[in-house]
Structures are given as structure tokens and as C-alpha cells.
Amino acid sequence: MTVTPSSTAVVVSKTQQFQATASNGSNSSVTWQVNGVAGGAAATGTIDSNGLYTAPVNVPNASSPAAATVTIKAVSKADASTSGTATVTVQLPPSQHVFLLLEENHSFASVTTQPTPMPYLVGLANAHGLAMNYFADTHPSIGNYFMLTTGQIITNDDLFTQTVDADNLVRELLAAGKTWKSYAENLPVIGYIGPDLPPYLAHHNPFTFFSDVRNSPTQLLNLVPFTQFSTDLANNQLPTFSFLLPNAAHDAHDCPGTIPNCTDAQKLQAADTWLQSNLQPLLSSSLFQAGGDGVLIVVFDESDSTDTVNGGGHVFMTVISPLAKAGFFSQTLYKHESLLRMLVELTGAKGYPGASANAPDMGEFF
């Protein structure tokens, strides 16, 4: 018994038609299985009596992206000892342009309660994908930034200066032959790994701590000022993964420079204005039009300090992409390790750092 195709990749929620052919060339009457289960199951995908396989909503949990595979089996109805198999890799839609942007220190409610102080960001989320039940891992900021890039909190000391040798997103991107950059507003010079120089905050830029970066003259060149982002966009030189970091006056962490004593709403309004000015050229580019492969994730690192639900409180997170569902509102509980898992899967990085290996998958957004 031969099953065709013998090996293929299927994006979450999409379908693949399989055919079974007996060795004598005739069409076979078969029953279909997924991972040994007749007709399959929600977690691994289902297959109908005609061999049409429907991938699960999420990528099956596995220790590495390459291991997210299932086995399709066709068993002869005439002779149960006769069968054939095929393998399916379930994946998120691959992207060559994934962007992660962090905002600071505000609850989900403070962003979304109407009238919202962030109409641009909330409008994007409502039109694309919004996580209604997403939580940070800890307080204060730095542990969340590390969870998003290493799958570990590493430290809760915002004054941390040590080198981090834990597995991380940079290591896994490089292992897969992918490219990356951190675009940080007010970074003083390319390759800067020194302390905070407000409004640039080093503890918001986790890539500056990784041994894979600090010990490599080549990788240090990927730590660049945010001004480089518009140049790279215009010249079609964006990497596979881009980390976008507004400064502390533009990420809702501090008051904007023109208002020394401001309200939280004014912080959020200033951040929203910055987002519209700096993201709209990206979202208007071919990467985000029909047929494009851009994926932009905007997330808050932590809620306000009084909100400790699930560690770091309820925060806002949106997925914006032509590859993703439009007008989608997820009710699933997620934390930063799930977002790291999604970044690995979207970029095709080599493996899952830390807690991302077993975190709930976010494939439902696609």
C-alpha cells in the first residue's frame, strides 16, 4: 500500500488530500488513521473517509519544531495487515519577516476600556487578532523580557548586568540560518551593551545580555538604533526577526518629554501616537498587503504592579498579519512563553528555548 504524498507540511487548520494505492496499481478501499486513531483527533488533526486530512488548530506540542509531526496511515479494508503511511509536519505559516514590539507596565483594561487612550493600537487589534486572556509572568519588567526570549525569567533585578548563557531566541535563529536585529530607540551606538542611558533602557533590550551576542563581534552589529529600521524597510533589508523597542517615553513606561507630570492615560496616548507614526509605514508595505508574509506582534511586558494574577497580570497582546485570521478574539489563557513558542514556529528557528517547549501553542491565530 502506498500513500501519497508520502511526506508534506500542512499549516494549522488547513487541509491536505491523501491517496492510497495498492501495489497492483488499483485504488484501495481503506480506513484512515492519524497517529493510530481512526479518523484522527482534535490535537493531531482529523481525516475523513476519502483521505482528506484537516490539521489541528494548534501545532502539536513537541520538544522541537521539527518534531511537530503526525503519521497518516491507510489500512486496507480487505486485509488489515496491508497498510501504508505518510508523515505530516504541522506548522504555522512560515514567515521571513516577524516583528515583536514591547510596550510597558499597563493592564489590559487600561488599554481597552472605552474611550481607549490607544485608539490606533486597539483598532489594529480589533481588525486582526487579539488575545483576551494573556498574562505576563512576573514583576518587574526584566523577567518578562527574558521569558519572551529565553523561556526563563532569569532575574527580577532591573539593574542586572551579567552575561546570560541560557538558550535563547538568537541562538536558535542562528542555528537555523535565520537573521535578526534589535532596533532600539536612542541606543547610543551600534553594538552598545552598556547600562541604561535614559530614555534608552538596557533592561528592556534582552538581546544585549546574551553570550551569543556579547561574545560575537558579528552579532553585536545586530544591536542597532531604531533609526536604522526605516532604512532597512526601504531597502528591503529587514531580517527574519526584528525586535522593535521604543524608548521609555514612547512605550508607556514614562511620561512623554513634553508632559513631565502626566497621567497613565497620557503615557498610553503618547505610546499610541508613536506606534501610528512608526508602524504605519511597515503595515503599508508589501509585507502586510495581500500575499505578504509579515507578522507583527505587539504586547505589554507586564500589567501594573498591583496586578499579580498568573505572575505578572493581565496584559494586551495582538497579532497583525495577512497570514493570520482577521477579527479574531482568542479566549485561551496564554503567557509570554507561548508567544516565544510562536516566534520560534513562525521564523523556523531551530528549537524551543526553556518553557516555550511545553507552553500552549498559539496556532489558533492563523
Do 270 and 345 fall within a single domain?
yes
Do 87 and 119 fall within a single domain?
no
Cell 491536505 -> residue: 16
Where among 91, 114, 144 does a domain terminate?
91
Element (H, E) at 3: strand 2-4
> In this structure, what C-alpha cell is assigned to residue 238?
529587514
Do 86 and 120 fall within a single domain?
no
Where among 53, 71, 91 does a domain terminate?
91
Do 207 and 335 fall within a single domain?
yes
Do 148 and 251 fall within a single domain?
yes
Do 85 and 182 fall within a single domain?
no
DSSP state for residue 365 in the 8-state scheme: G
Domain CATH number, residue 290? 3.40.720.10
Using alpha carbons, list the distances in angstroms from residue 329 to 2, 63, 132, 316: 41, 28, 6, 12
Q: Compute how many other C-beta atoms are within 10 angstroms of the C-beta atom of residue 86.
A: 22
Number of independent structural domains in the chain: 2
Do 122 and 146 fall within a single domain?
yes
Where among 38, 61, 91 does a domain terminate?
91
Residue-range definition of the domain harbouring residue 284: 97-365
Domain CATH number, residue 74? 2.60.40.1080
Determine contact, residues 222/79, Cβ cutoff 8 Å: no
Do 76 and 140 fall within a single domain?
no
- Tell me the pLDDT of the chain (366 aa) as tens digits: 999 999 999 999 999 999 999 877 555 699 999 999 999 999 999 999 999 999 999 998 877 776 689 999 999 998 889 999 999 999 999 999 999 999 999 999 999 999 999 999 999 999 999 999 999 999 999 999 999 999 999 999 999 999 999 999 999 999 999 999 999 999 999 999 999 999 999 999 999 999 999 999 999 999 999 999 999 999 999 999 999 999 999 999 999 988 889 999 999 999 999 999 999 999 999 999 999 999 999 999 999 999 999 999 999 999 999 999 999 999 999 999 999 999 999 999 999 999 999 999 999 999
Do 302 and 320 fall within a single domain?
yes
Do 59 and 102 fall within a single domain?
no
φ and ψ of 106, to 5 deg: -140, 150
Do 105 and 67 fall within a single domain?
no
Strands 241-245 and 334-335, bridge-based pairing: unpaired
